[in-house]
Amino acid sequence: MNLIIRPMTESDLPAMLILQLTCFPELPPESETSLKAKLLASPKTCFVATDQERLMGYLITHPWTSDLPPPLDAPTCDIPENADCLYIHDLSVHPEARGTGASKALLQRFFDCTNQYPYALSALIAVQNSSGFWKKYGYEIQTPSPSIQTKLNSYGEDAHYMMRTINEDTAV
């Protein structure tokens, strides 16, 4: 499969909604309004993988604070003034594109742009038993604060808050 990694656009949103349902059946889907708000908040850190005809994956990231992940399905995404990390909100890859390097390519594109930002950290919530995947990319499980633990509880049993240093060695 020959995938093209490119910046995300608003025209990608309908296909992203469908892919979201495929990739995260255990979680309530986010609305198009919420996904659009995140894209508009940080268009330089959101990417898609396409096979020229179909959207095969996407990565939504944006600046945020490492002390509390952003809310799910929020209608707005106002970057906090005290942002100190780039938060990976969502990485989704179509089942047909798994094993093709799509995740790695999307993440490499993200890491390639991190030097444009003053942050030393990237953070995420690993869901659906994905912490092993994220460990391969340098993310480490963090001991959650009580407020982060409350947030993790809303993601299911195997949710973990993870972080890694960026802008030092960002190759994947």
What tens digit of pLDDT does each residue of 9-20 get?
A: 999 999 999 999
Find the DSSP H helices in 114-168: 131-135, 146-153
Q: Is 162 helix (H, G, I), strand (E, B) or coil?
A: strand
Q: Set out the domains of the chain in order of their start, with CATH numbers.
A: 4-165 (3.40.630.30)
User: What would the two tokens of residue 148 be?
Assistant: 């982060």
Q: Which of 55, 42, 62, 43 lies closest to 5, judged by CA? A: 55
pLDDT of residue 19: 95
pLDDT of residue 128: 86
- Prediction pTM value: 0.93
pLDDT of residue 109: 95
Write out residues in the chain with pLDDT < 70, as ranges: 168-172
pLDDT of residue 154: 83
pLDDT of residue 2: 87
